[in-house]
Amino acid sequence: MKREYSLKDSFKDTKERLIYLSSPYSHEDEKIRKLRYDIACETTADLLTLGFLVYSPILHSAPLAESYSLPRIWNFWERIDREMLSRCQEVLVVTVDGWRESEGVQAEIEMAKEMGIPVRYTAHGVM
């Protein structure tokens, strides 16, 4: 069962840990992709403002996919996401519409569990 929490209440010693921000992106509707990208940007900015170290695969991959016509499918990005996730000490899943159905988010959760990396959940805007 997932547990949502506020990062403001998080432990102080976790601020030096690298957080992997997992959130859905892929969708056939460009407006939904844009909304999901904006949510990832906002959440990343909130985390950085609070002093956390954070890596968002969406912020890394979406502009590249858009500008250079790269695939927007999980299989294309899995290798780099797996490597970056292995360097993080925590995964934070943003539970916006589509996160349960997202192939990428679900794979990131499973990879984190396999690597023994804690997975936490937060609703968009709960910082």
Longest Cα pair distance anywhere in the chain, in angstroms?
Answer: 41
What is each CA distance from 66 to 18, 60, 90, in whole angstroms? 26, 11, 28
Each residue of 76-116: pLDDT tens digit?
A: 989 999 999 999 999 999 999 999 999 999 999 999 999 99
Are 50 and 87 in contact by the 8 Å Cβ rule? The answer is: no
**What is the pTM assigned to this prediction?**
0.85
Residue 58 backbone zone (phi > 0: left; psi -120 to 50: alpha; other: beta): alpha
Residue labelled with tokens 């858009």: 66
Tokens standing for residue 28 = 């056939």
7-122 adopts what CATH topology? Rossmann fold (3.40.50)
